[in-house]
């Protein structure tokens, strides 16, 4: 175990031994320590989704909520569902052209979105695979070509070298191209990266499964694609150059026949959301939901999301997000001991699968047995354990209901907490699933830190007194939302999913003006941070000096541009900055 000293361990043993059933109905330092330390222990082994530690954590959380006098919302309080925990190439993958067998993993790979199956058919080249028709864009690569029953070869991405094509980034994802091909009758898709899109011509290495697109999908190397195009006298690079320059369809039938097969093997596992509640009285057909995800990265390793990419060890996840779950349990206990009760039902949900893409909250909102319109507010707690000097707490989603920001400000003791606000309802945590259903949301966090997604995120580093302060504010917010006879009026505050307008796979933007003059050595200063853009929403401010992106050093503008070129839209990244001579870690959603 990686706790800092023996005294701390002795304290935990003492607290655990006396916790028992004599719980204090207040939100207390000692009970927060007990719950957080139990969740972030060797026993639960990092709470990886679908693992034994995940199951043990769910049972423990349910037990704690039962001790807090909550009832199961449905059944036994465990909302079970299955997740794909890994995906790998099967043995059946093959690709044969003119009796030449290409090598899976070297010349081509099946993509995670493929369906398993074989296809022997001709090949049609369909440019970027666009079919777009609106007031400002007209591009249909399928207009004058019949691809029914055929393989279609499609360029990945969009013509990013041509500024006039920037709006097409919204239609450039692999899945969108595959579904467009399928809708036009294609029986299989061959995706290839042009030289401008990906000079290295890397093949994707899927480690997690995706929902099937319904047809075989292979990514092929440019050299293989050029072999298919050889009878036409064209190459991928030439076709990419012409399509990017002219921004017009460039589709034709090749004379090549491809005999191919795709197979991805997905391994599924069971997990569960923990769903317990306090029953309301006068407004018992309406709900408040308080949530926090309990899953983390397990033992880390490749594909896990760990920032310690070469380390296989327990990722304790004390702040992320044992802290949020512990505070949720303590909040539930405090509210349950109120003699007055509450007008609306209050649901407490511990989500699984957040680290794999909000899987638990997405499953919950689709299967909660509640009409979304009956939910007055969802409050999400994600990483609330590292209150720093200055008592700063980030509160997101305040724009998702009329007057929500003002109501939070009105009840906040500014001598205890300093709140910073963002309007948007979408972000890289479980509240996004509810915002997508037109439910007002609030998300609380004390922000990222250098231990984020590493084995060093341990319970001894949490600010439990700070968690108590946040809990007192949450008590007021949830109580008001549960009892106020006037409902919150939902309003949209930003997109309901990852922004596609920044859809460059190679060259996303943080939304800042860098110091092009290089006035700072060993870093890059942000001379202006655009409000509402990823950097600002992640907490970056004017004057911050970027020193690393995704743990890789940034010493100057060239390093910065190179690091951005390796990122993808929708990705959540870590950015280390120097601010007031202190090193800070920011979590930024692209």
Instruction: Give the model's pLDDT for residue 209.
Output: 65
Can you tell me the mean pLDDT for 472-476? 97
H and E: helices and strands count for the chain? 13, 25
Helix axes 52-67, 29-39, angle to 10 degrees: 160
Instruction: Give the model's pLDDT for residue 212.
Output: 83
Contact 504, 171 (CB under 8 A): no
- CATH 2.30.42.10 correct for 512-589: yes
- Which has the minimum average pLDDT: 101-115, 320-334, 473-487, 488-502? 488-502
Contact 328, 336 (CB under 8 A): no
Phi-psi region of 103 (alpha: psi -120 to 50; beta: other; left: phi over 0): beta
Instruction: Give the model's pLDDT for residue 501.
Output: 36
In 107-192, beta strands by DSSP E: 108-110, 117-126, 131-133, 138-140, 151-155, 188-192
Instruction: Give the model's pLDDT for residue 13.
Output: 46
Residue-wise pLDDT for 119-135, tens only, equals 999 999 999 999 988 77
Residue-wise pLDDT for 54-84, tens only, equals 999 999 999 999 999 999 999 999 999 999 8
Give dist(CA 374, CA 199) in Å, integer: 51
188 phi, psi to nearest 5 deg: -165, 160
Q: What angle do CA 84, 87, 91 make, to 5 degrees?
A: 140
Among all chains, which residue has been given the structure tokens 């401010």?
A: 541
Contact 131, 176 (CB under 8 A): no
Contact 251, 167 (CB under 8 A): no
For the record, the structure tokens of 543 come out as 């004057």
Give dist(CA 449, CA 256) in Å, integer: 53
Instruction: Give the model's pLDDT for residue 96.
Output: 95
Give dist(CA 16, CA 528) in Å, integer: 49
Q: Is the pLDDT of residue 11 over 60?
A: no
3-state DSSP helix/strand/coil percent for the chain, to nearest 5? Answer: 30, 25, 45
Q: Is the pLDDT of residue 474 over 70?
A: yes
**To which H or E segment does residue 66 belong?**
helix 52-67
- Residue 414's CB is within 10 A of a number of other CB atoms, namely 9
Instruction: Give the model's pLDDT for residue 465.
Output: 97
Q: What is the DSSP letter of 319?
A: I
Can you tell me the mean pLDDT for 300-304? 82
Can you tell me the mean pLDDT for 520-546? 88
Do 6-86+268-483 and 512-589 share a fold? no
Can you tell me the mean pLDDT for 501-525? 69
Q: What angle do CA 246, 248, 249 make, to 5 degrees?
A: 135
**Average pLDDT score, the chain:** 89
Instruction: Give the model's pLDDT for residue 498.
Output: 61
Higher-scoring residue by pLDDT: 460, 247: 460
Domain ranges of the chain: 6-86+268-483, 91-262, 512-589
Q: Is the pLDDT of residue 14 over 70?
A: no
Residue-wise pLDDT for 383-415, tens only, equals 999 998 889 999 999 999 999 999 999 999 999
Q: Is the pLDDT of residue 17 over 70?
A: no
235 phi, psi to nearest 5 deg: -125, 160
Instruction: Give the model's pLDDT for residue 411.
Output: 95
Can you tell me the mean pLDDT for 522-532? 86
Can you tell me the mean pLDDT for 559-568? 80
At 26, is the pLDDT very low, low, confident or very high (cuts 50, 70, 90)?
very high
Domain 91-262 falls in which CATH fold? Glucose Oxidase; domain 1 (3.50.30)
Give dist(CA 96, CA 40) in Å, integer: 50
Exposure of 493 by Cβ count < 10 A (0-12 exposed, 13-18 middle, 19+ buried)? Answer: buried
Q: Is the pLDDT of residue 153 over 90?
A: yes
Those residues whose C-beta lies under 8 Å from the C-beta of residue 27, and which sit 6 or more positions away, are 327, 330, 331, 333, 334, 467, 468, 471, 472, 475
To which CATH superfamily is domain 6-86+268-483 assigned? Zn peptidases (3.40.630.10)
């Amino acid at each position: 175990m990686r706790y800092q000293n023996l005294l701390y361990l002795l304290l935990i043993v003492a607290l655990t031994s006396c916790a028992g059933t004599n719980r204090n109905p207040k939100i207390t330092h000692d009970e927060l320590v007990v719950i957080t330390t139990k969740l972030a222990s060797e026993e639960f082994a990092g709470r990886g989704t679908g693992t034994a530690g995940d199951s043990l954590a769910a049972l423990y959380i349910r037990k704690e909520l039962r001790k807090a006098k909550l009832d199961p919302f449905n059944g036994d309080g465990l909302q079970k569902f299955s997740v794909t925990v890994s995906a790998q190439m099967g043995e059946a993958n093959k690709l044969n052209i003119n009796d030449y067998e290409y090598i899976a993993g070297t010349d081509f790979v099946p993509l995670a979105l493929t369906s398993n199956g074989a296809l022997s058919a001709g090949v049609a080249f369909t440019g970027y695979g666009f079919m777009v028709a609106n007031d400002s864009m007209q591009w249909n690569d399928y207009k004058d070509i019949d691809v029914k029953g055929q393989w279609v070869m499609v360029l990945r991405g969009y013509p990013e070298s041509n500024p006039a094509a920037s709006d097409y980034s919204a239609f450039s994802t692999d899945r969108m191209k595959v579904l467009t091909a399928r809708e036009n009758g294609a029986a299989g898709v061959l995706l290839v990266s042009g030289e401008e899109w990906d000079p290295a011509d890397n093949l994707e290495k899927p480690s997690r499964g995706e929902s099937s697109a319904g047809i075989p999908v292979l990514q092929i190397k440019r050299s293989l694609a050029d072999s298919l195009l050889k009878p036409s006298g064209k190459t991928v690079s030439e076709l990419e150059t012409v399509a990017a320059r002219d921004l017009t369809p460039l589709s034709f039938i090749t004379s090549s026949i491809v005999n191919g097969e795709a197979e991805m093997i997905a391994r599924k596992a069971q997990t569960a959301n923990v769903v317990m509640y306090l029953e309301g009285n006068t407004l018992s057909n309406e709900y408040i939901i308080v949530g926090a995800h309990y899953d983390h990265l397990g033992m880390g390793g490749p594909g896990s999301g760990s920032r310690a990419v070469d380390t296989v060890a327990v990722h304790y996840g004390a702040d992320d997000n044992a802290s949020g779950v512990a505070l949720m349990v303590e909040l539930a206990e405090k509210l349950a001991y109120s003699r007055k009760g509450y007008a609306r039902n209050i649901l407490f949900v511990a989500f699984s699968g957040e680290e794999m893409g909000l899987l638990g909250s997405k499953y919950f909102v689709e299967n909660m047995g509640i009409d979304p319109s009956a939910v007055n507010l969802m409050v999400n707690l994600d990483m609330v354990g590292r209150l720093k000097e200055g008592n700063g707490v980030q509160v997101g989603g305040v724009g998702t209901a009329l007057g929500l920001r003002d109501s939070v400000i009105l009840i906040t003791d500014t001598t205890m907490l300093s709140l910073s606000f963002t309007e948007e309802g979408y972000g890289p945590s479980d509240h996004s699933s509810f915002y997508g259903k037109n439910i007002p949301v609030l998300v609380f966090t004390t922000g990222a830190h250098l231990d984020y997604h590493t084995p060093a995120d341990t319970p001894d580093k949490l600010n439990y007194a700070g968690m108590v302060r946040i809990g007192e504010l949450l008590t007021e917010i949830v109580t008001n939302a549960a009892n106020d006879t006037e409902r919150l009026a939902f309003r949209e505050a930003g997109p309901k999913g990852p922004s596609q307008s920044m859809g460059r796979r190679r060259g996303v933007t943080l939304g800042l003006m860098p110091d092009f003059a290089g006035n700072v050595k060993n870093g890059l200063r942000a001379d202006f941070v655009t409000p509402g853009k990823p950097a600002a929403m992640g907490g970056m401010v004017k004057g911050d000096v970027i020193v690393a992106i995704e743990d890789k050093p940034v010493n100057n503008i060239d390093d910065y541009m190179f690091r951005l070129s390796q990122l993808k839209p929708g990705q959540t990244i870590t950015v280390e900055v120097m601010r007031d001579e202190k090193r800070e870690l920011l979590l930024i959603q692209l």
